[in-house]
């Protein structure tokens, strides 16, 4: 019997995407690959290894535990924790020899204290974040950001090292004017810090910024979604020379006739108007197939598109396959990926329910086993 649900991840595609992104960088910039959220659903450790094999300079995550996972897997090199850290999480990050992000006096004080308690052999590399418009982490006030950088720089005797200056774009995928404004706000911060520490690493660009704004490349870009072969503008990854690395499949578990008036799924959200045939596929919202795709999705079987009908349940979906004999029990069903000349991308699924491809790939749950391979393109 086939596996009920399977996510196949093409590591060779990740390597090629890294090479493609690096080739487009300007001014000698390097590539940092973001592997947070389990590598955007692709598997953090295998994705990290593929990224480094493809030429990435460094890795980035959101949490201390994610950094620790990489270290426990034997991955060396620079790992930046970009998210907020409690005192407890800070200890985990330092144990993992991670670089961290600061934007407040309090955090710098906590970092000095944690470093003294843990006594790592090497200085803790700190990147100072200036909020130029995203409105999440980081101070919006230039003088405060400079003061935090000065505090880090002045704490060299306490084992801190001012390593970088950073910001994050709010809408590089859709609002070029605001992105340019963010760059103009960032440049004074960069100028002050570079005057004091010419060797610091300056970074701002996410995947969309990397592809659309060469002037934002600075010393380093931080790419996540594009590395996995998804379009940060949520349209077509192939337009940017990117290969989707994720393929999500299941199989036909049952086929049955439906007479006019027969329904499929909870709530009878689909009722047959004419005689037809239905296939049940053992994958559902607990596996990452969003319930909002009810009556609003197509899957691939033997190179053909078939509509998903009826409410998506926790463990099953139902497909209308039309004529008897068109599909058989055991046939492979592709939810994301390619089959023959047809393909379904994460971007297509996202567009159907008004979300983004990030949420589609991150939403593939831990219940779905990941198989990592190097067989060539999957979509």
Burial 149-165 (b: 16+ CB within 10 A, else e): bbbbbebeebbbbbbbb
Q: Is 36 a catalytic residue?
A: yes
Judged on CB neighbours under 10 Å (0-12, 13-18, 19+), 292 is middle
Pair 283, 317: CB distance under 8 Å: yes
Inter-helix orientation angle 44-53/64-72, to 10°: 70
Among the listed residues 40, 129, 256, 266, the single catalytic one is: 266
- CA angle 256-318-306, nearest 5°? 95
Pairing of strands 342-344, 332-339: antiparallel
Catalytic member of 36, 251, 285, 358: 36
From CA 376, how far away is CA 379, in angstroms rounded? 9
Q: Which two tokens stand for residue 156?
A: 């060299």
- Distance in angstroms (rounded) separating the CA atoms of residues 13 and 373: 10
> Phi and psi for 147 in degrees, rounded to 5?
-65, -40
Task: Give, rounded to a whole angstrom, the gap between the first and last alpha carbons of the chain.
Answer: 25
Calpha distance 306→303 (Å, rounded): 10
Asked whether 251 and 230 are in contact (CB, 8 A), the reply is no
**Residues with catalytic annotation?**
36, 266
């Amino acid at each position: 019997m086939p596996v009920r649900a399977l996510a196949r991840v093409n590591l060779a595609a990740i390597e090629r995407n890294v090479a493609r992104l690096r080739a487009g960088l300007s001014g000698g910039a390097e590539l940092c690959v973001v592997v947070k959220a389990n590598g955007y659903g692709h598997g953090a450790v295998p994705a990290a290894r593929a990224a480094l094999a493809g030429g990435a300079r460094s890795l980035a995550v959101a949490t201390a535990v994610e950094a620790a996972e990489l270290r426990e897997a034997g991955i060396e090199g620079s790992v930046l924790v970009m998210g907020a850290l409690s005192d407890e999480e800070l200890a985990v990050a330092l144990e993992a020899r991670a670089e961290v992000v600061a934007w407040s006096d309090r955090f710098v004080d906590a970092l000095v204290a944690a470093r003294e308690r843990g006594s790592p052999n090497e200085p803790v590399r700190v990147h100072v974040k200036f909020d130029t418009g995203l409105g999440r982490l980081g101070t919006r006030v230039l003088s405060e950001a400079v003061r935090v950088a000065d505090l880090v720089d002045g704490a060299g005797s306490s084992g801190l090292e001012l390593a970088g200056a950073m910001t994050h774009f709010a809408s590089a995928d859709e609002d070029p004017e605001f992105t340019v404004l963010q760059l103009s706000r960032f440049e004074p911060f960069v100028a002050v810090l570079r005057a004091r520490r010419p060797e610091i690493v300056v970074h701002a660009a996410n995947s969309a910024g990397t592809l659309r704004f060469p002037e934002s490349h600075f010393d380093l870009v931080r790419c996540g979604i594009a590395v996995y072969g998804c379009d940060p503008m949520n349209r077509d990854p192939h337009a940017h020379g990117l290969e989707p690395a994720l393929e999500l499949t299941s199989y036909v578990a049952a086929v049955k006739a439906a007479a006019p008036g027969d329904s499929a799924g909870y709530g009878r959200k689909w009722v047959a108007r004419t005689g037809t045939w239905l296939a049940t596929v053992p994958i559902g919202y607990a596996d990452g197939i969003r319930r909002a795709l009810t009556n609003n999705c197509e899957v691939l079987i033997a190179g053909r598109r078939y509509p998903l009908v009826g409410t998506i349940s926790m463990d099953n979906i139902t497909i209308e396959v039309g004529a008897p004999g068109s599909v058989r029990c055991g046939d492979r069903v592709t939810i994301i990926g390619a089959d023959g000349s047809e393909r379904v991308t994460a971007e297509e699924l996202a567009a159907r329910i008004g979300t983004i491809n990030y949420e589609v790939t991150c939403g593939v749950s831990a219940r779905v086993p990941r198989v990592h391979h190097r067989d060539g393109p999957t979509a």
